[in-house]
Amino acid sequence: MAALKGLVEFQLKNATELLELLGKEQVAIAQRISKEIEALAIQKNTLITQLQTTDERIGRHPEVESLTTDPELQTLVEQIRELIMECQQRNELNGEALQRAQLSFHKLNNLMKQSQGKVGMTYTAKGQTNNVSTLGTNIKA
């Protein structure tokens, strides 16, 4: 049982670290610090992998049933579940913020292309800019 409790406590530690990391990611996204966002994404993936691996180890543990019968373990498992739910919500919000930042970057990039005196600019079906130098002058009938 001591080994199982150690795994559950390790899982709690990783979930807590992930939540803290997501808070740092939120700040980095708001401040648009791309190097930090990238570094945090790598750390986030490492923590998620650790959580998954530990979860598998807990699932294979011979005393796994005690997670639902031992009050102390039940409390730890509930804390982990709450942390993971909060992590999922925060990660979703961070993803939405990243999408907004990327859209903002594309709009700024398009404005800069326009201001550089491009002859013609159209948009692809995906909303990306497409510079066209002929803009209808080389029509072959």
- State the CATH number of the domain containing residue 9: 1.20.58.300
The 3-state secondary structure of the chain reads: CHHHHHHHHHHHHHHHHHHHHHHHHHHHHHHCCHHHHHHHHHHHHHHHHHHHHHHHHHHHCCCCCHHHHCHHHHHHHHHHHHHHHHHHHHHHHHHHHHHHHHHHHHHHHHHHHHHCCCCCEEECCCCCEEECCCCCCCCCC
Model confidence at 112: pLDDT above 80 = no
Label residue 77 by pLDDT band (50, 70, 90): very high
Total tally of structural domains belonging to the chain: 1
- Asked whether residue 52 is assigned to any structural domain, the reply reads yes
Domain range spanning residue 56?
A: 2-131
- Asked whether residue 50 is assigned to any structural domain, the reply reads yes
- Asked whether residue 124 is assigned to any structural domain, the reply reads yes
Label residue 116 by pLDDT band (50, 70, 90): low
What is the model's pLDDT at position 66? 94
Model confidence at 69: pLDDT above 60 = yes
pLDDT tens sequence across 119-139:
555 667 777 766 655 545 555
- Asked whether residue 88 is assigned to any structural domain, the reply reads yes
Q: What is the pTM of this model?
A: 0.72
- Asked whether residue 53 is assigned to any structural domain, the reply reads yes
